[in-house]
Amino acid sequence: MVAYDRQLYVFGGAADNNPSNDVHCFDLDTQSWSVIPPSADSQVPSGRLFHAGAIVGEAMFIFGGTVENNIRSGEMYRFQLAAYPKCTLHEDFGRLLESGQFTDINFLVGDADTVVPAHIAMVAARSDWLRTRVREAKAGRDAHLSKLFEVDSRPTQRDCPVLEVKLVEAEPAAFRMVLDFIYTDQIDPTKGFRERHQSNEVVLSMMQVYMLAVQFHMKRLENLCINYLEASVNHKNVLVALKNASQLKLFFIKEFCLRFIIKDATYNQIVMSKEFETLDQPLMVEIIRRRQTPQLRSLQEDVRCETGPTIHDDLRHFLRNGAEFADISLVLEGTPIPSHKAVLAARSSYFEGMVRSFCPPDNKVIVSIGEMVPSRQSFDSLLRYIYYGDVVMPPEDSLYLFSAPHFYIFSNNRLQVFCKTNLERNVTVENVLQILEAADRSQASDMKKYALNLIVRYFSKVALQPRIRQLSKELLLDVLFAIADESQDNKLIQDMSCSSINSDN
């Protein structure tokens, strides 16, 4: 196992007595495993175990190991780990929450109605329970406005009061941590102070977060809380955790605390402590009685295998089914596409500036990429990237979206790199002229050079394509110059060969 950029990578190993050649990745932020598929042109090593691995720069090196038939290998393989810029989905939405910009709903949390602002799109995408509360709040606001105004004189969406949802039983600090998870798929109850990891305050706060996760039907957050609590509880804080779990009626967590206390390795130390003397009598009796029963299994063994959807999964579903919460329409060739300002502004500086300063009063925005109007299929690919970081698209979409990162100003050039790779792997004689035009429009010099080289190499076939007659004068000159350069290079090689032969004579 090797570590790189908040991920742990494992290659190979034995599965059902068969050596594996899969690369598994464990994300420390999302606490989830995934299998990394190799690129189509990779030379994949055979399955092996007992091999060595190390990280050097942005690559993982694998050496040796035992392959099939118990043969020791002396091979070395290199796995490129940073071929593409990192997906910034979690960071982008995290910045949106931290900035407090463009919020359109206030949660009134706790007995004191502490105001916690958020974005309807994000909470509706990630929790069906909160989505229902948002619907109820909207229906209540609409009913109230209907009593005050006639249909023709009702205020626009922009002038309506901010939605409010009451969460009386929630703790403000715990709810803010739930929001952290909603926006980033991760939480840090220590706020960066790792020494507080096992403190009573942090353990209690995670119990409160767990309660909200159950209430909000957020299975992934439930499992994250369970994992954290199981790793945090020790002989020093388990009695406090047991007491809090009992008071909060968190029977699942209480069960784990009881199991921890009655272990042979911890029981005597815990019951002899001063904290045990102050424990409520019913809990004392329960501990002693449970000690007489056989040792039970780990808490994790009772957790269902369902891990719950990631932020990518939830926003994928929301892009398809979240039209009722749309607050902006992106108009492409006269067709409105319902979208969500918060998501667009979080992922694109262009949309962030538009929402802040020059959004049309009717919330309808004409879509373009510079002076180019994309196809509906390619714009759908762009929206998938904006909402949940998807970069899977047909080559023709990459032609349109090649310049999108510069125009919409994303956090990095991840989309452009994927588009470039997609085009290079799928470029043909039939589409190379379109790729040349797209590269020229987006000022992608590397991609343009690649297309010109391919045109020169297969010019006899490319020249027969009808598209060549539609090239601009400038691009035709670029093609001629590329052919001339190639001819000059070939002539130079021939001259050097002749000189070499003459010198030998």
pLDDT (tens digit per residue) in 67-109: 888 888 889 999 887 667 888 999 999 999 999 999 999 999 9
Mean pLDDT to the nearest integer, 162-172: 93
Question: What is the percent of the chain with per-residue pLDDT over 70, rounded to a whole number?
Answer: 89
**275 contacts 241 by C-beta, under 8 angstroms:** no
pLDDT in tens, 261-308: 888 888 888 888 888 888 888 888 888 888 877 554 444 444 445 678
List the structure tokens of 370: 């510079």
Mean pLDDT to the nearest integer, 184-190: 88
Predicted local confidence at residue 300, as pLDDT: 47
Residues 6+ apart with CB under 8 A from 366: 331
Mean pLDDT to the nearest integer, 200-208: 86
Predicted local confidence at residue 277, as pLDDT: 85
Q: State the pLDDT confidence band at 29, using cuts at 50, 70 and 90.
A: low
| Helix/strand/coil for 284 | helix
Q: Which residue has the tokens 């979240």?
A: 322
Mean pLDDT to the nearest integer, 333-360: 93
- Does 179 or 198 have the greater pLDDT score? 179
Q: Give the closest residue to 385 by CA, choosing from 431, 346, 440.
A: 346
Question: Going by DSSP bridges, is the β-strand pair 7-11/23-27 parallel, antiparallel, or unpaired?
Answer: antiparallel
Predicted local confidence at residue 499, as pLDDT: 53
Could you write out the DSSP letters of every residue in 252-282? HHHHHHHHHHTSTTTHHHHHTSHHHHTS-HH
What number of other Cβ atoms are within 10 A of residue 440's Cβ?
19
pLDDT in tens, 429-444: 888 888 888 778 766 7
- Does 315 or 489 have the greater pLDDT score? 315
Q: What percent of the residues of the chain are helix, what percent strand, and what percent coil, each to the nearest 5? A: 55, 15, 30
- Does 221 or 450 have the greater pLDDT score? 221
